[in-house]
């Protein structure tokens, strides 16, 4: 069975500071990987997906970027955080069926 | 516009009873997933369907691509079934993009 690990569990950051969130998936070779974001009280929005190493497709633009440096790793980042980046970030992986990681709660002050 | 319309937004059931959650799609979808939100806020997989029905314990889901809907039936509801349930669907043009419903908050009362 595949498992998804996300780090950090939670983060408090200042506006304008950089951010890097990580995600790894174990138990599935060549997985599709996804980043989602949910603002407090909002709906879940898909941000990025990646089918293979080095390739990332953007779904929603939120002044964030994503990279896939390894087959099992997906990174979400930005050089300058905005207040609007606060929320809950979920990484998902799999084939046609997506399985979700535990999430990272981000607070931007 | 919104691709997935989920209803009801909230549902209250007494223990032992049942009901159905529904997602209507504004366009033809290739497959649907049903999730339940856990205490931390992540999503637990319940079902993945490309067609037909699936059953797991007291839960049963159906998906009709042609009629553009999916349902999640809960029977003999238990207190631990309380929580928020989501459907999410993928279009045939790109199954890597999931369109989520807004969720149904289920409360099971004694």
What CATH number corresponds to the domain at position B14? 2.60.40.10
Nearest to A73 by CA among A13, A20, A11: A20
Lowest mean pLDDT segment, chosen from A74-78, B9-13, B40-44: B40-44
- pLDDT-based confidence at B46, cuts 50/70/90? very high
Instruction: Please report whether residue B43 resides in a domain.
Output: yes
pLDDT at B1 over 70: no
Quickly state the pLDDT bin for A31 (edges 50, 70, 90): very high
B39 touches chain A (CB under 8 A): no
- Residue A84 structural domain: 3-108
* Helix/strand/coil for A38: strand
Phi, psi for residue A18 in degrees, rounded to 5: -80, 165
| Integer Cα distance of B74 and B14 in angstroms | 12
**Any A CB within 8 A of B43 CB:** yes
Over residues A50-76, the mean pLDDT reads: 94
Our CA-based measurement puts residue B13 at a distance from the nearest CA of chain A, in whole angstroms, of: 23
Q: How confident is the model at residue A48 (pLDDT cuts 50, 70, 90)?
A: very high
CA distance A16 to chain B (A): 26
In a domain, B34, yes or no: yes
- With a cut of 70, say whether residue B71 has pLDDT above it: yes
Q: Which two tokens stand for residue B69?
A: 């809907």
- Residue A1, min C-alpha distance to chain B (Å): 13
Q: Which two tokens stand for residue A62?
A: 């939120």
Q: Is residue B110 part of a domain?
A: no
pLDDT value of residue A62: 86
Domain that holds residue B82: 4-105
Rounded alpha-carbon distances, angstroms, from residue B92 to A80, B4, B79: 36, 15, 37
Domain of A28, CATH number, reads: 2.60.40.10
Residue from A60, A92, A98 whose CB has the most chain B CBs within 10 Å, to mutate = A98
Q: Where are the beta strands (DSSP E) in A31-86?
A: 32-38, 45-52, 55-58, 65-70, 73-78
Confidence of residue B96 (pLDDT cuts 50, 70, 90): confident
Structural domain count of chain B: 1
Q: Over the stretch A80-95, which tens digit does the pLDDT of each residue have? A: 999 999 999 999 998 8
């Amino acid at each position: 069975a595949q498992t998804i690990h996300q780090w950090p569990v939670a983060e408090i950051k200042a506006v304008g500071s950089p951010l890097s969130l990580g995600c790894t998936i174990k138990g599935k070779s060549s997985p599709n990987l996804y980043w989602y974001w949910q603002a407090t009280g909002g709906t879940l929005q898909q941000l990025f997906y990646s089918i293979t190493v080095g390739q990332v497709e953007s779904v929603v633009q939120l002044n964030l970027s994503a990279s896939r440096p390894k087959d099992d790793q997906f990174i979400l980042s930005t050089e300058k955080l905005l207040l609007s980046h606060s929320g809950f970030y979920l990484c998902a992986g799999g084939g046609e069926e997506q399985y979700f990681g535990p999430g990272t709660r981000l607070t931007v002050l | 516009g919104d691709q997935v319309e989920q209803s009801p937004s909230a549902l209250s059931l007494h223990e032992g009873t049942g009901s159905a959650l529904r997602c209507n799609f504004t366009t033809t979808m290739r497959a649907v997933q049903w999730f339940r939100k856990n205490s931390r806020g992540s999503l637990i997989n319940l079902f993945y369907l490309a067609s037909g029905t699936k059953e797991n314990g007291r839960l049963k889901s159906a998906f009709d691509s042609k009629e553009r809907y999916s349902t999640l039936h809960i029977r003999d509801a238990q207190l631990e079934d309380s929580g928020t349930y989501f459907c999410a669907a993928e279009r045939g043009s790109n199954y890597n993009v999931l369109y989520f419903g807004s969720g149904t908050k289920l409360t099971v009362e004694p």
